[in-house]
Structure 1
């Protein structure tokens, strides 16, 4: 892969500097969105590396490089710094003075104990945008509980609302949504700073992000006086609040997702007498009967034949793809969704930035960094001499490293 020179085309957040004190997924993914949009993101990580360097789901490592780390750390520079080492204080003071944003996702109180909390940072940089991402919030009765994606899905009602039985989402949905919300808030605060010269204190939580994901569902539930009985439904029905046949159905050779469609249209498309018989039913109140009838009709259909029938009738549907299908989906290829990063141990497939700016997807200007890969250049830019940098490395305050291979 080649890496682009951002000087050739301006990106929306060029000029913003972000110090990212983040690990796991939510914080790193938020910082990656900002880096993709042109921000100078410095990943300040422990001298042994951030957590995501050492763990990967499915034990997905390419040699010793974590695919989890690769997923959320492109376009960043790495400064490996021991925050507890007394020598790091001088480095941090100079570094903070150059920053627009501090982004951290430690547990509440950790940054204060490290003397890097909002009050301490604001004394160095009064116009700082200081962003804290926690599990449940900076205060409150659940402040100290672990804020991990699955646990948030459970507490926020997402698991109970998914599937005819409580079902966890098949990926870290809350982390990723929380990251997008963080990036949105930071971009908004930066726009405000450019106009007013003032910083902003931003507080985010995975719990709130998990609730925000369900804005439509929760508003419908509370506003219509529903009870938990509303969640009971035929296993083919996709949500508790949609009418049938909205959901996923097994075919002879595949699965198909059917969106909002009049039951009579489905019956006509399939020339189905059995579905015609239930077309006059209330598609929400009698959704189980409608879904069961559609499911029985579809089980003998092949997808190719069903697609022709549905297309002719204007039915909204899609074949259920798996990840192998998605990798070579023609629209995904057209949209430039994926890119390949060559490493010594093999190729990694990455998901690109999801938006286009002036018709272009932001390119990877820098691959995910090696631990401390940019420590020396960052310190040099701050005005430290080669001898001083040598002293910092000798004392263990700083670790310098090489690019990932």
Structure 2
């Protein structure tokens, strides 16, 4: 294996790019293969989140990667990518099943060509099986995996999670699997096919909840609960409660300590009830005690009584959070044309340090010249390929998407 892991990525949307961003942050050399017009995330950014024409969606999951824009339907383009793969350790894709095969770059062929390759596939529901061809997207898998039913289930019904948590978790799982396969390759010299899916990631996210659910015979209405209760399997007061201004959450807490902290006779009278069987009753009593109080008043008292709680904060609050600042949770980068973007940093530290920011592929094909020169092509040869619309690179006219 190379001293620096070399990754060829056929990834778009979020699950695959999230995976490659984790690897690139840790030092891997990641080349993102894109069509000449650029990957999907260059052309869509939810919430109209663009900075000088650059998609925030793109910037959220492509840090430290390089972009090679290439037409894989042209033989010259396919041959160049195969040369790149010959020097790589890992190939990753998150297309629908069969797409790489139709391009002449299927995993069976790549494995035969280079048996030591680590191959990684991120799909929606799996590469095989009765639902393999169905669309796989975060919200769809939140629904199919039971996450929406479990997240909601209160008086307002099922509720989606407010972020693409399955996509992000799927990317992290795939990165973990790739690293494990690379360790195996160091030990045996053999390649591995690593497979992940959004469906599997959605189920894995709920390991605790699903294990508990299947461990006992559940009532059909087990998810139904008072709107304050945050989980179907926790005792009250676990959940979200309105205050005179804003909201707070209460985690698992001793009812005697909570009654003392709020100096509440109503809660003292309920200390001995089964706070799971009667979670709605207890949660409503807690809500009645809190709705007229301010966070600034209850928080010091809760701290003194060791009550686990937090204020419900907005994204704007998060940016000012002193612990987030201490952890260096965010990083500001310059965007071409002026302006800046705020990125979420790599979540881990190594010897006390965060991985550095090296590059962002702001434009499709931004690194095509440098990548192909590493393969031994001259600049003149690259310019000729760009003129023939085999590759995209700075100064070449890209086709419309």
TM-score (norm 1): 0.94
Question: 3-state SS of the aligned residue for 2:75?
Answer: coil
Equivalents in 2 of 1:83, 1:216: separation in Å? 43
Which residue of 2 is the match for residue 63 of structure 1? 52
CA-to-aligned-CA distance 1:344-380 (integer Å, 9 cap, x gap):
2421110000000000010102234421111111111
Task: Name the CA distance, whole Å, in 1 between partners of 2:78 and 2:142.
Answer: 38
Tell me the residue number matched to 2:14.
25
- In 2, the alpha carbon distance for the partners of 1:26 and 1:93 equals 24
Pair 1:301 & 2:293 matched: yes
CA-based RMSD of the aligned residues comes to 1.2
Contact kept, 8 Å, 2:66 with 2:360, in 1: the verdict is no
Deviation at 1:312, TM superposition (A): 1.3
Q: Deviation string for 1:234-278 (max 9, x for gaps)? A: 110010000000101001112111000011211011100111111
Q: Please, which of 253, 265, 268 is the counterpart of residue 273 of structure 1? A: 265
Q: 2:63 aligns with which of 74, 87, 90?
A: 74
- Rounded to whole Å, the distance in 2 between the matches of 1:263 and 1:246 is 11
Alignment partner for residue 350 of structure 1, among 321, 333, 343? Answer: 343
Partner residue of 2:141? 152
Q: Which range moved further: 323-332 or 115-124?
A: 115-124
Q: Which residue of 1 aligns with 2:109?
A: 120
Paired residue for 1:98? 87
1:196 Cα deviation (Å)? 1.5
Conserved 8 A contact 2:68-2:367: yes
Matched, 1:331 2:323: yes
> What is the CA-CA distance between 1:383 and the residue it aligns to?
1.4
Q: Does the alignment pair 1:341 with 2:330?
A: no
Q: How far off is 1:192 after superposition?
A: 1.3
> CA offset at residue 401 of structure 1?
2.2
For 2:57 and 2:379, how far apart are their aligned partners in 1? 34
Q: What is the match of residue 361 of structure 1? A: 354
Structure 2, gaps ≥5 residues long: 396-401
Q: Tell me the equivalent position of 1:373.
A: 366
C-alpha contact (below 8 Å) 2:361/2:367 kept by paired residues: no
Q: Does 1:189 align with 2:181?
A: yes
Q: 1:14 deviation in Å?
A: 5.7
- Runs (4 or more) in structure 1 with deviation over 4 Å come to none
In the alignment, what sits opposite 2:238? 246
What is the TM-score with the length of structure 2 in the denominator?
0.95
Checking the alignment, whether the CA contact within 8 Å between 1:14 and 1:37 is kept in structure 2 is: no
Is 1:257 matched up with 2:249? yes
Q: Which runs of 5+ in 1 are unaligned?
A: 1-12
- Contact 1:105–1:134 (Cα < 8 Å) also in 2: yes
**1: CA distance between counterparts of 2:78 and 2:203?**
38
Shift of 1:138: 0.7
Work out the number of aligned pairs and report it: 390
CA distance in 2, matches of 1:133, 1:221: 28
- State how far apart, in whole Å, the 1-side matches of 2:208 and 2:131 are: 25
CA distance in 2 between partners of 1:29 and 1:386 (Å): 31
Residues 1:65 and 1:114: Cα distance change in structure 2 (over 3 Å): same
Q: Decide whether aligned partners of structure 1 residues 77 and 14 sit closer, same or farther in structure 2, where only a CA change above 3 A counts.
A: farther
Deviations 1:306-357 (A, max 9, x none): 0121111111101111100001100000001101012224211100000000
1:87 partner SS: helix
Inter-partner Cα distance in structure 2 for 1:321 and 1:73: 27
Cα distance in 2 for partners of 1:166, 1:181 equals 26
1:143 to 132, 148, 152: 132
Give the secondary-structure state (helix, strand or coil) at the position aligned to 1:230: coil
Deviation at 1:393, TM superposition (A): 1.4
